[in-house]
Copies of this chain bind each other. A is one copy, B any other.
């Protein structure tokens, strides 16, 4: 186990009655709120109306930033920062999934910063101050409701970039599994893949003696594996939705990487893909992760083997280390397929892809590397994309 600092002050309000806390939580910070959301689903399922009624009844003045899309764009962040500054807004409230929340995260960090908020994503500056942020989560997937992470796409070059900061952790997040009942099956499936991927990135580590976190990650992944078929068959199964929603928050709140170093190469590979092709992040991960695991098996089979045994119950006498690892990967692919996910680039209609362009954007120089469990140079990334064809 390596030294670590762990802190996650987010207040999680979870359950059927969670929204009843909204007014009080908001007024704890401000009566001037910027509400950031996508549009379609929260208006269709009535949640938007409910939220507005609560805010109105608490005499909260609301500005709106709507129409946030997946792989959220920097231009909308600038727009939100501008609204906040002009109106002296005291709280940004995200309503939706990772895209609305990440847009709101970028806004709350950008408002008090004199420079360009994109500086944070280029490593040119670090946020010192932040506006308070609250979230109302409707899509369990990104884990953004409790995470240090924020990923934004700069349309100027379609650069999809993320950075981690405690200033991204919301003051409060309101989670009601019922809001995920109306998610389309494809989006539900993408969410399950994303949640599992956040735990897998942390699972694959070279750090030794991480038994507790290995076991906690295994607990989280197995819970999502076990409840995913239920929510695909019965979208309104509260308990299965609740297991997945809570697992989604814990998957990415930094608890599961205490004392260890995660890999994150697969996320980098996927980010380049979805920035270019605008496919859902979860679908991209279902394509990339098996390919990454096959590549990693050749270099460092240890943790891939342990994954096969711990998570997919591949017997230790199944065969050689490589055979055990590949059987675990096969079972993971079968699971993805059972959710209707693509597991190859071709299944997502990504053909004749210019891998070099993707790779050069991810790795500015020949010497650049991504990943921790296995270090990926440009050529490694190309090889993994090819394995995913």
Contact = CB atoms under 8 A, between A and B. Distances in A.
Contacts of A319: none
Contacts of A215: 218-220, 222-223
A7 B10 contact: yes
Contacts of A16: 3
How many A residues touch the partner, as a band? 35 or more
A339 interface: no
Contacts of A295: none
- How many monomers of this chain does the complex have? 2
B211 A226 contact: yes
Interface of A: 1-18, 21, 208-209, 211-212, 215-216, 218-220, 222-223, 226-227, 239-240, 242-243, 246-247, 250, 255, 258-259
Given A14-B4, A15-B4, A212 B246 contact: yes
Given A216-B219, A246-B259, 9 more contacts: A1-B239, A1-B242, A3-B18, A7-B12, A212-B220, A212-B223, A212-B250, A215-B222, A242-B259
Contacts of A223: 211-212, 215
A4 B4 CA distance: 28
A110 B250 CA distance: 34
A1 B209 CA distance: 32
Given A3-B15, A6-B14, A258 B239 contact: no
Nearest to A5: B13
Nearest to A12: B6
A7 to B, nearest CB: 4
Question: Which of A1, A240, A258 has the most chain B CB atoms inside 10 A of its CB?
Answer: A1
Contacts of A8: 8-9
A284 to B, nearest CB: 25
Q: Which of A13, A219, A250 gathers most chain B CB within 10 Å? A: A219
A209 B243 contact: yes
